[in-house]
Structure 1
Amino acid sequence: MSKPPLIFIIVLAIIAVLASRQFIKQRRENAANAAAPVRLLSAEVKSKREFPAPNRHSRQREVIAGEEMRYEAWFHPLNGGGDMKLTLSEHAYQQLDKGAKGELKVQGTRFIAFTPEKP
């Protein structure tokens, strides 16, 4: 049997290192969010967008029926501070209206809820 080429082994090692780094980063972010206090902020929905979730099997950007989607919204705190980009569930995304003002509930970088002001 012949040995695998050295470049093949190097590529596999690089992939393993990068995958491990991403896994550790996600675990740290989840732990930080879980340890963070729940905050209530007066905020305005600045913008929102939906897009196909990254698919490791395809590079196409066309929306296919049944394809998994991601939902994001930008919130602007009314008491000052920088805008926040948060990932939402589909249900929460559908409930938001651009320009709506209300109470944003977050835990670290995790979206919990947005309650719009009543007109």
Structure 2
Amino acid sequence: MKPPIIFLIVVALIAVLATRQFIKQRRENAANDASPVRSLMVEVKTKREYLAPDRRSRQRDQIPVEDMRYEAWFHPLNGAEDIKLALDASDYHQIDKGSRGELQVQGTRFIRFTLCTASDC
């Protein structure tokens, strides 16, 4: 018995999209690795945490695992455009909205945020 043509088209489309996403992520990681670490004086403009979309199929006997994503927007004090970065949970919870400090990034990768003291802001 031959599978329906629509099934083959859907499988091929999923394979193409998955391959494209994999290549995009590899390129972004390579670009970040090749970029120098930059330091900027910034103010934390806003933060956001949200539940990541669950890509797994939900079954009745499966316990859903909540996968949280964290991001923050930083406003450079030199007037440049805001920077949106993905953070891990520990970094996200140590940063407060409105705080000022030194942001270190490598390409689009968050490295560190260090609060400044009153004398060096």
Give TM-score scaled by structure 1 length: 0.89
Give the secondary structure class of the aligned counterpart of 1:54: coil
Which position in structure 1 is the counterpart of 2:115? 116
Which position in structure 1 is the counterpart of 2:34? 35
Q: Count how many residue pairs are aligned between Structure 1 and Structure 2.
A: 114
Within the alignment, does 1:47 sit opposite 2:46 as a pair?
yes
Which position in structure 1 is the counterpart of 2:9? 10
Query: What one-letter code is carried by the residue in structure 2 that aligns with 1:108?
Result: G
Counterpart CA distance in 2 for 1:58 and 1:82 is: 39
Counterpart CA distance in 2 for 1:10 and 1:66 is: 31
RMSD (Å) for aligned C-alpha atoms: 1.8
Which position in structure 1 is the counterpart of 2:99? 100
Within the alignment, does 1:77 sit opposite 2:76 as a pair?
yes
Give the secondary structure class of the aligned counterpart of 2:54: coil
Counterpart CA distance in 2 for 1:50 and 1:36 is: 27
Counterpart CA distance in 2 for 1:58 and 1:40 is: 42
CA distances 1:67-98 after superposition (whole Å, capped 9, x unpaired): 22111000011112111110111111111010
Counterpart CA distance in 2 for 1:65 and 1:23 is: 25
Q: Which runs of 4+ in 1 moved over 6 A?
A: none
- Structure 1, unaligned stretches of length 5 or more? none
How big is the shift at 1:53? 1.8
Counterpart CA distance in 1 for 2:55 and 2:70 is: 18
How big is the shift at 1:54? 1.8
Counterpart CA distance in 2 for 1:56 and 1:74 is: 26
Counterpart CA distance in 2 for 1:65 and 1:7 is: 31
Counterpart CA distance in 2 for 1:93 and 1:41 is: 18
